[in-house]
Structure 1
């Protein structure tokens, strides 16, 4: 006759939260081959855990050569942007249960596809060359420009003036928006949504004095007019920034010179 303690252990075992999922990862190692390939990894994981946890489990327990970026693991640093099931997401904010679907034929969970973001050169596995992305960011002068003497206290600003650009201060430079843009895919010379968002943040800052300079930079043939308003960038933003709206406001400022 089973003891109450053993019954409890058996009940807990029967109610295990773990499920078996397959991560189908696009691998690329230039030291081995010029071609990328898909590789499947089946692991047991709590569906309430994140894709980043699954990648850690694979790297630490299955294949240490798997390469990806991550840092804070809390959706703040933006390091782990990647394409998960065909959409740009942060691996640290994407729960397994939210992207797992069941194959009607087999009754088993469908594979979760993971690959590097598009439009930037893949260096290895899920890591891309971010230099062109950050160069576009630097080109729009993402810093406060003022004249006169340095103030003896903080530069004051009304709540209303701050609200004008508050949304675009949320950018974490993850590149999810820029690498979801079909214009950027076709021509990497386009500044891209993230650079325009960060220009917007200063163009509409009442304390800044370089709005005209930034507008002229974005008036370039590779600037804001390349946007085709597909809303991919807004859909991809993990911070909920209204990216397309910000781009349209920059276009309007270029036409009216009012900002």
Structure 2
């Protein structure tokens, strides 16, 4: 069956694009430039944004249209790389996953660097201590014997045992939300323990005892005070506090 069509006049105007309701917001950024001042300062930026856009979009608008000196990290912009972790309205979040409409745009939106790590400039912190703790727990598969001739197989049940902690994207949101880490930069921190957990409970791995001994040290899992800040801050929904408690239990029982 044919479908009737209506020819449009050649000079007909194109259909109007749907309007976007933009709102005026204030983004209050904690700025720091060691070449200018030893102190940080809050700077307000008034911009217009679609409330369905993200805080990262607002930062891009500020940098590209108002002040090109604003410095922050970002990469994939889709919540996978973990580069743009920052404190937004007092909570650790990923700027690329935080919608403006979800954080009360009627009030100034505060943006500042994550805590517990040295600020290098504006929203950029020195991540080296964080990554050193990650390296210290040996986040890789440890096995003995000859190199296998086929893949190391694992049952679905064994894989499920550590599935949650494989989701970590190393954004440091959990570690930099931890009061113990704020006060003692030597503490391994939640992210390092989560990544140790991922291999300690992997049935294919043979380095569990080594990792447990590392985390049994003075700055290991026993520094955790179970405040649940880390679990609340994780943008991937990892049960961080639960993972830390499971590592503590493995240290006591030596069963993993």
TM-score normalised over the length of structure 1: 0.92
Aligned partner of 1:129 in structure 2 is 126
Q: CA deviation at 1:16?
A: 3.9
**Structure 1 runs of 4+ with >3 Å offset:** none
Equivalent position SS for 2:235: coil
- In the alignment, the residues of structure 1 paired with residue 239 and residue 78 of structure 2 have an alpha-carbon distance, to the nearest angstrom, of 21
Q: CA deviation at 1:99?
A: 0.5
- In the alignment, the residues of structure 1 paired with residue 236 and residue 46 of structure 2 have an alpha-carbon distance, to the nearest angstrom, of 30
TM-score normalised over the length of structure 2: 0.93
Structure 2: which 5+ runs fail to align? Answer: 1-11
Q: CA deviation at 1:147?
A: 0.6
Equivalent position SS for 2:26: strand
Q: Superposition RMSD on alpha carbons, in Å? A: 1.5
Q: CA deviation at 1:100?
A: 1.8
Q: CA deviation at 1:242?
A: 0.1
Q: CA deviation at 1:150?
A: 1.2
Residue 172 of structure 1 pairs with residue 162 of structure 2: no
Aligned pairs for 1:87-106 (under 5 A) are 87-101=91-105
Structure 1: which 5+ runs fail to align? Answer: 102-108
1:118-161 per-residue CA deviation (whole Å, 9 max, x = no partner) reads 00000000000000000000000000000111111111000000
Q: CA deviation at 1:114?
A: 0.1
1:171-214 per-residue CA deviation (whole Å, 9 max, x = no partner) reads 00000000000000000000000000000000000000000000
Aligned partner of 2:152 in structure 1 is 155
Aligned partner of 1:73 in structure 2 is 77
Q: 2:222 aligns with which of 199, 208, 225?
A: 225
Aligned partner of 1:252 in structure 2 is 249
Aligned residues, how many? Answer: 245
Aligned partner of 2:9 in structure 1 is none
Q: CA deviation at 1:17?
A: 1.2
1:53-88 per-residue CA deviation (whole Å, 9 max, x = no partner) reads 000000000000000000000000000000000000
- In the alignment, the residues of structure 2 paired with residue 37 and residue 131 of structure 1 have an alpha-carbon distance, to the nearest angstrom, of 25
Q: 1:18 aligns with which of 18, 22, 39?
A: 22
Residue 236 of structure 1 pairs with residue 240 of structure 2: no
- In the alignment, the residues of structure 2 paired with residue 242 and residue 178 of structure 1 have an alpha-carbon distance, to the nearest angstrom, of 13
1:198-246 per-residue CA deviation (whole Å, 9 max, x = no partner) reads 0000000000000000000000000000000000000000000000000
